[in-house]
Structure 1
Amino acid sequence: MRWEELDQQPCSLARTLAVIGDRWTLLVLRECFLGVRRFEMFEQRLGITRHILTDRLKKLVHHDVLYKSPYQEKPVREEYRLTEKGLDLHPVILSLVRWGDTYMADERGAPVVHIHKSCGEVMHPVTVCSECGEPIGARDVRVQTGDAWANQAGQDPLPNANPAD
């Protein structure tokens, strides 16, 4: 499987990675969720080259993860805002942050905490079943192919449907 062809795979994860699967894109998204909207601020906070930043922002706009909104008329200047599709990535970012806080933080702990606005408490993301509300982990899920699976070159999509066992 070639990186440029990920969006053609019959796999939702591969197609997602084709849009957000590189380090700079994930860091741009982190900044978006921290309230950064303007090109210069992304550039300053990330220490990223203009070329790479332009490419990542164009890609996110192309895939409707971000949209451009004018904030100045003369000259026209635009900022980048999350779309609903982009906001739906929040649990993904929170899960990655939680993993990093658990396995990559130093002795001082998490560098950023997330406060639930409603109750005012520090919160941690939890994956729950959409049907019963019970918390779930890798050992609690069985995987099977869906109608959209197209067998690619005889590849078995589920060589071990219970990898956590």
Structure 2
Amino acid sequence: MVKRTRFNESDCPVARSVDAIGDWWSLLIVRDAFDGSRRFGEFQRSLGVAKNILTTRLRALVAGGILDMVPASDGSAYHEYVLTPKGKDLFHVIVALRQWGEVHFFEPDEPHSELVDSRHGRPLPTLEVHSADGRQLGPDDTVVHKVDPAG
């Protein structure tokens, strides 16, 4: 088996993030957790993933502080998985992926699931990035400042 390249010590925040949640199963587990899944069987039914793969991904998400494993809310002997504050901070990432997918992978009339405001029942507006002074920013409006290893 090929050893996976690790990015957990990279100076790039994107690389470290991908290292923590960069495979599709993990992102889909996080998506399902936002959608209310809490138990192993719920994730397994929703995703159709093999149990051994799901077990590995859930363990990694718990070890990475994205999910917590807690006693079942119904008092049974089972455990449930809940998003930690670190996991909840992935909300914008999941929304951005969803909105990007809606634009690039569906025809205009093609039905798909939709994320809506629970209070008003309306779709969310498109996420935007703004500068400190309120201007909307795009890729041509930003630059990455690299870390100088010499200090």
Per the normalisation by structure 1, the TM-score is 0.79
Identity of aligned residues (%): 32
Alignment of structure 1 residues 8-157 onto 2, 5 Å: 8-71=9-72, 73=75, 76-109=77-110, 111-117=112-118, 120-129=121-130, 131-146=132-147, 150=149
> Counterpart of 2:135 in 1: which secondary structure?
coil
The count of residues paired between Structure 1 and Structure 2 equals 147
Residues 59 and 119 (structure 1 numbering): CA distance in 2 closer, same or farther, change over 3 Å?
Answer: same
Residues 96 and 34 (structure 1 numbering): CA distance in 2 closer, same or farther, change over 3 Å?
Answer: same
**Structure 1 CA distance, aligned partners of 2:110 and 2:89?**
27
> Counterpart of 1:5 in 2: which secondary structure?
coil
1:112 is displaced (CA, Å) by 1.9
Give the conservation status (yes or no) of the 8 Å contact 2:38–2:81: yes
Deviation string, structure 1 residues 84-116 (Cα, Å, up to 9, x no partner): 100100100111111110000134345122223
Residues 15 and 26 (structure 1 numbering): CA distance in 2 closer, same or farther, change over 3 Å?
Answer: same
Structure 2, unmatched stretches of 5+, are none
Residues 118 and 128 (structure 1 numbering): CA distance in 2 closer, same or farther, change over 3 Å?
Answer: farther
**Structure 2 CA distance, aligned partners of 1:47 and 1:145?**
41
Residues 110 and 96 (structure 1 numbering): CA distance in 2 closer, same or farther, change over 3 Å?
Answer: farther
Give the conservation status (yes or no) of the 8 Å contact 2:117–2:124: yes
Residue of structure 2 equivalent to 1:156: none
**Structure 1 CA distance, aligned partners of 2:122 and 2:108?**
22
Give the conservation status (yes or no) of the 8 Å contact 1:66–1:82: yes
Residues 122 and 44 (structure 1 numbering): CA distance in 2 closer, same or farther, change over 3 Å?
Answer: same
**Structure 2 CA distance, aligned partners of 1:125 and 1:91?**
11
1:119 is displaced (CA, Å) by 5.1
**Structure 1 CA distance, aligned partners of 2:130 and 2:71?**
40
Residues 111 and 18 (structure 1 numbering): CA distance in 2 closer, same or farther, change over 3 Å?
Answer: same
Structure 1, unmatched stretches of 5+, are 152-165
1:62 is displaced (CA, Å) by 0.6
Q: CA RMSD in A?
A: 2.1
Per the normalisation by structure 2, the TM-score is 0.85
**Structure 2 CA distance, aligned partners of 1:8 and 1:113?**
36
